[in-house]
Amino acid sequence: MNMNGSRYWLQLLVLLLPLCWAVAAPAARPEISQPLPDFRKLVKQNEAAVVNISSTQTPRRRSSRSSGLPELPGSENPYLEFFKRFFQERPELPGDRQANSLGSGFIISTDGYILTNAHVAQDADKIIVRLSDQRERPAKVIGVDELTDVAVLKIDESENLTAVKIGDSDTLEVGEWVVAIGSPFGLELTATQGIVSAVGRNLPSGTYVPFIQSDVAVNPGSSGGPLFNLRGEVVGINSQIYSSTGGYMGLSFAIPIKLAMQVADQLKVTGEVTRGWLGILLQAVNNDLAEAFKLDRPRGALIAQILPDSPAASAGFKPGDIILRFGGEPVEDSSQLPRMIGVTPVGKTVAMSILRNGEPLEIKATIARLETTEERVMTMDEHSDPRMGIVVADLSNEQRRGLGNDDQGVLVTGLDEGPAANAGLYPDDIILQLNHTPVKSASQFVELAKELPNGKAVPVLVRRENESLYLAVRMPAERE
């Protein structure tokens, strides 16, 4: 082959090589996008287990200082003034006697047990549950736990009830798809979807609840409804939202179903929830406090106060102690500790690792029972006067010291329709004088009230918060 021929074949080979490589190389794989999940089957399988709840209650007069919002401590708290419950109390109007509140719930067993929020069911005179097929059934309140915002209802329906499947909220992960079904603004069986934004979220209004945060659209009326995972299992109860308008703004919070079922089991058996109590007041450890208490980083729960006659006092805890471990479990944040103590069986002795004056120490304490506000009120020495429509109780020593006197004042613990409520008295007011006579005990108050003249207005001196004011109570024209 001559030189020209060789050059020809070499040039041809150079031209063909890229083509050969292109043929031999594997084809580039197109990007496969993940399709969005299809929620149709999930909704169809569970919509019959979701119910609409209407509750009717007679409004109780309350202090004008009560806004219906959760008490959120700390002016720098990001939730302050924005964090709202779904059903805020509207202003009471003259002559207003009944209030209807709409919420959601879901059937947890075919014998008629229903889970919802405590703030949907509490204080209701009558509750009506509307099923997905528009059947309506009266419901009985089995139990309400305000600390977790969980309530259990029961309807007398033994046929054709569909119950949800209960999932494991402990296995939820951030980014997981979730679906809510409820009745926003009374629009029944509305489904919305989103993802889990955070787990174990600590909120000022939920000391005993590690909330599930999601971006599922939840609005007033969906409170108490279920939050599902993609397997169609309930993982939470929709409870609260973060909002500056009262409507959905991208942050909603659900009670983990594992905690809710633990509460429900106790409510079904005893009608109440028993929690452990240590008797300490806590505060969070920030960077400055960590440095001051010789911690390597902010962690643990700082004891700010020891309550008298408490397990903590008996065990030898001191203000300034920092609890780092509770029963072997690390305490990373002060908000964790109340939940740890709350689920501890009453009477159990727990070892706690603490830091005192920079030195590690172990203290053992026996957990006592947390007494609820309702139980404390029931143990008060209460007296009532039906003619005035009022119930009063003796003040505690601490309340008397707060007033600056040791022998005057009674606490208003209840009001019915009548002269006292019409005059503007509220629960938690302290009555100092009745018709110019100093009031020293609840029994004396009742005796004084019996002598009040018919059809006349008499002055009542009241202490409300840190201020005193006079109210005029007009007694009925004739004794009933």
pLDDT tens track, the chain, 480 positions: 555 566 656 566 556 655 555 555 555 555 556 778 999 999 999 999 999 999 776 555 443 333 333 333 443 444 444 444 443 444 444 444 455 767 999 999 999 999 999 999 887 889 999 999 898 999 999 999 999 999 999 998 767 899 999 999 999 999 999 999 999 888 889 999 999 999 998 886 667 899 999 999 998 889 999 999 999 999 999 998 877 666 678 899 999 999 999 999 999 999 999 999 999 988 888 888 888 888 899 999 988 888 888 999 999 998 889 999 999 999 998 889 999 999 999 999 999 999 998 899 999 999 999 885 433 333 356 788 888 999 998 887 777 777 766 678 999 988 888 899 988 899 989 998 898 899 988 889 999 998 898 888 888 888 887 777 777 888 887 655
pLDDT digits (tens, 9 = 90+) for 41-62: 999 999 999 999 997 765 554 4
pLDDT at site 106: 97
Fold designation for 276-369: Pdz3 Domain (2.30.42)
pLDDT at 74: 41
Backbone angles phi, psi at 6, to 5 degrees: -60, -40
Q: Which two tokens stand for residue 15?
A: 């031209």
Cβ–Cβ under 8 Å, residues 186 and 196: no
Tell me how far apart the terminal alpha carbons of the chain are, to the nearest angstrom: 134
Length of the chain: 480
Is domain 380-474 given the CATH code 1.20.120.1200 in the classification? no
Query: Using one digit for the tens of pLDDT, what is the confidence trace for 184-232?
Result: 888 889 999 999 999 998 886 667 899 999 999 998 889 999 999 999 9
* pLDDT, position 378: 35
Catalytic residue set: 119, 149, 223
pTM listed for this prediction: 0.64
- The whole-number pLDDT of residue 475 equals 87
Percent pLDDT > 70 in the chain is 79
Tokens 């050059």: give the residue.
7
CB neighbour class for 341 (10 Å; exposed up to 12, middle 13-18, buried from 19)? buried
Stretch(es) of the chain classified as CATH 2.40.10.120: 37-63+78-273
Q: Considering the chain, tell me which residue range(s) the CATH 2.30.42.10 domain(s) occupy.
A: 276-369, 380-474
CATH second-level architecture of 37-63+78-273? Beta Barrel (2.40)
Max CA distance (Å), the chain: 139
Residues 6+ apart with CB under 8 A from 103: 52, 53, 55, 86, 87, 116, 117, 120, 121, 183, 221, 223, 224, 225
pLDDT at 414: 87
Token pair for 62: 């309350």
pLDDT given for residue 284 in this prediction: 82
